[in-house]
Every structure is written in structure tokens, then in C-alpha cells.
A and B are shown apart, each in its own frame.
Chain A
């Protein structure tokens, strides 16, 4: 089910996954090997907001782990800006926000951002202005000198967004960015994604909030048991299947409501 195979072919491919397979040893499967991702092929183009969907255990996080170099693919390849994800340089122009916030709690937001700015080799003359800009964007300017361990969950998530934006990335990889946040926190994160979209940034994110995905995303892919089931423009999928994204999602994953 692919409604938009040559998605926006005029634009440059930012993220490319070719026939990706990830296997790991498992006691549950008879052969001792389980396929977390099976032959996934995907292209995300410049300026798109791409929703990466699937039930728990579908292989979304594993795919993101391969893209970020945390896990190695068993076969197939993945590229960011044309560079193989195994090379650290592939991560020079990306920003990543993990599902839950994990930062050095003994640092202040300002120190954390200064550290990451050094990693990205942002010139010292630009560092302070970048820190000011991202802290203002995520509304943490007032708490910049406080240790991260004193932040609320929502503030930590926004600090996470700030660190993902410090290098002014061309691609943002967000793993369930609104997970565990209260409605106001969710709205703020959504507003930031919307603003980045308006600035022409490419955003690749996984979420279980299908209403949110339907509002923000240009295209989506639905994964189930490691395989790509549906990929296409949200508007086209909705009109093709005559249902909303949530109903389509349930249909694709084969959910049978209890009678």
C-alpha cells in the first residue's frame, strides 16, 4: 500500500533507508533470531514532516537506533544527507530528541547547550547567540542557570528540544516527543514542531498521538511487526481509505475490536 512512492521527487532525499533488516538473538523465536525490522525502504525529502507510526514493538525505535548509529543493521543501508549512518559525520546536521529526557543532571541548561555546541564545533562567537535563541524558542530562558535535575518533566522535555536545535539542524529526529507530557506541554512541543515546519526543516518523528500526526505531518509510514505496511501523504491516505488516520492505523495493524 504505497500511495506516493516517488514522494516529491523534485526535492533532495534527506533520509534514505534501503532494504533495512535488523535481527537480534531471541529466546522466544525458534531459530534464536528475531527480525525487528524486515526489508524497510523509506525516503524522507527536504522540508517534509514525516510521521513514523506503528504499535509498540513494530520496529520504529529500532529503525531510529540504526539511523543514529546506536544499533547496527544486519543488512541493508541507511543514509542521512547521503552519508552512511555508520559515519559520525552523518549526524552533523541532525537534531535528536529521545522519547524520555536523558541529560547530565549536574549541568544547567546553559552549560548543557554550551557542551553540545562544542561538539558541533559552533564558533564561540555564535554559541551564546544560539543558546539564547533556542532557550527563548523553548521558553526556558528564565531557568537557564538552574540545574537540569530541578526541572519539571515538561521543562526537561523542552531542554531536550533545545539541545536538539542547538546546531540549527536540517533534520530533526524526534522519538515520541510529546510522550508523558501534560496537555499544555504537548501543545508547546507541537507549536515548536509547527514553527520548525514553517522554517522549512525536515522532521522525522514517531508518535502514538494519531490526531497530532494527522495535524502536523505531510506524510506517514505505518510499520507493523518490522514491515512497512502503508506509506503516503496523509490527505491522500485519508481520502483513499475513506477513514481517519486512527481508523486506518487500526485496520493496517489488523486490530479486531472485541464484540
Chain B
């Protein structure tokens, strides 16, 4: 794991030194501050809507940061040819993939911490309530969910050479899962064969990212998800992340890299 962590360190260093990452981050930060600090005549419902809007924004921003950074990692190494001096050292391709994964995941984690701290501060100052554990749980579950998304994106970056096409496909798939994931099996019942079977199979094999979405619990102040359930979801995310990373390695390990 030493090599994977060293690669992750460089990956994080690149992300905070790149200006495009900053642009996205600062933009999201500003919008969250503005939306979170707005007040509509001290109306409780308006305040809920604002909180919902902020959380949606955090979800979207974190998703875009995670996908765009992960999609670029391996194609950029190949395009800028930095992969050659790196793989000429005692680094295996599995370590390269896991290092890139960890780098993107940790960087996304840093962004999430900043987003949630800001949201908690703004909401707390406005509402005089500090449900810190709820924010922590929401952040943790989103971060765990993003592990699956990043692993999926890294697999996509081995298959699709262009980061833009990979990012677009992954964002469409993730948004699709978030909106339809929970209902796909019900939708399948109304479909003709063989679409019904295909949709049912997809429902059972796809990662259910919507399970990690606890935004409504925060907005409607419904308390915490039991921690054992959070633990189970962590295992669920670990299984899918490992599956996607393994698939990425299986495709990448025999790939010829010509200098």
C-alpha cells in the first residue's frame, strides 16, 4: 500500500495545484454561502427549501469534482507520458489504479468536509441548531457513495480514452441510478419481454447509490440512520468499489503501453 499512498499523495497535490479544480470548488463554495445565508421572511418552509437546495448543490458539486478528477487521472498519465517513468519503477498496475482511486477519493473527502462545515455553520448561525452528527452521517454516506462512483469512473477511464466522454457517461449513469434506482424493478413490471428481464437484472446488479442519500432526513429533521445500517452500507460500497477497481485492473494489466 506504500506505493498506492505515494501515488495518492501526488494525485492530491495535482488537484489542489490545478486551477480548474479551484474554479469549480470556489464556485460551489460561493453558491452554497449565498444560498445558505439567504432568508425568506423567516419562513420555516423556505428555510427547509434552502437547506435542501444547498444539500443538492453539495451533492452535484461533489459528484462533478469526483467524476471529472477521476476520469482524467489515467488518460492524463498516458497522454502526458508520465506513466512511463512511474511504471519503470517497482510499481504494479494495481498499485497505480488503487493510488489514483485513493487520491481522488481523499481529495473529494476534503472538498466534502469543507462543504458540510460551511453548511453546518451557516445553518447553525441562522437556525440556532447544531445537528452535527446528522451532518457527519450525511457527509460520511455521501463520501462512501462517491467511492463507488470514483471506482466506476476509473474503470471507465480504462475503457474510454477521452475523459470528457467518460465523465458524461458516468454522470448520466449516476444521476439515472439516483433517480430511478429504487423504482426500476417496479418500472420493469410494466415492460414487455425481454426488456422486463433486462431491467430486472440491471436492478439487481447495479449499485444502489440512492441508498446513501440521507438528505431528506436532515431537511425534515428526522434523526439519524442506525449506525449498524451505515456499517452495512460501507461494506456494500466496499464490495462494489473493489469490483470496479478489479475490473479496471483486469483490463489495464495486459494493456501494451508504447513509448
| A-to-B contact residues, CB < 8 Å | 24, 61-62, 64-65, 68-72, 88-92, 94, 96, 98-100, 102-107, 111, 115-116, 118-121, 160, 163-164, 167, 173, 175
Across the interface, do A119 and B91 meet the contact criterion of CB distance under 8 Å?
yes
Complex Cα–Cα for A190 and B89 (A): 23
Across the interface, do A120 and B90 meet the contact criterion of CB distance under 8 Å?
yes
Interface size class of B (residues with CB under 8 A): 20 to 34
Q: How many pairs of residues, A versus B, come closer than 8 Å at their CB atoms?
A: 89
Across the interface, do A68 and B90 meet the contact criterion of CB distance under 8 Å?
no
Chain B residues near A100 (CB, 8 Å)? Answer: 81
Across the interface, do B256 and A68 meet the contact criterion of CB distance under 8 Å?
no
Across the interface, do A103 and B254 meet the contact criterion of CB distance under 8 Å?
no
Most chain B C-beta atoms within 10 Å of own C-beta, residue among A90, A119, A167: A119
Chain A residues near B125 (CB, 8 Å)? Answer: none
Q: A48 → chain B, closest Cβ, in Å? A: 20
**Per-residue CB proximity of B98-140 to A under 8 Å, as 1/0?**
0000000000000000000000000000000000000000000
Chain A residues near B84 (CB, 8 Å)? Answer: 68, 70, 96, 98, 102
Can you give 11 A-B contacts (C-beta < 8 A)? A71-B257, A72-B256, A90-B90, A91-B90, A94-B88, A96-B88, A103-B82, A115-B6, A116-B85, A118-B3, A119-B3
Across the interface, do A91 and B89 meet the contact criterion of CB distance under 8 Å?
yes
Across the interface, do A68 and B88 meet the contact criterion of CB distance under 8 Å?
yes
Complex Cα–Cα for A107 and B258 (A): 24
B42 within 8 Å of A by Cβ?
no
Query: Known: A102-B85, A107-B13, A163-B85. Is A88-B92 also a contact (CB below 8 A)?
Result: yes
B18 within 8 Å of A by Cβ?
yes
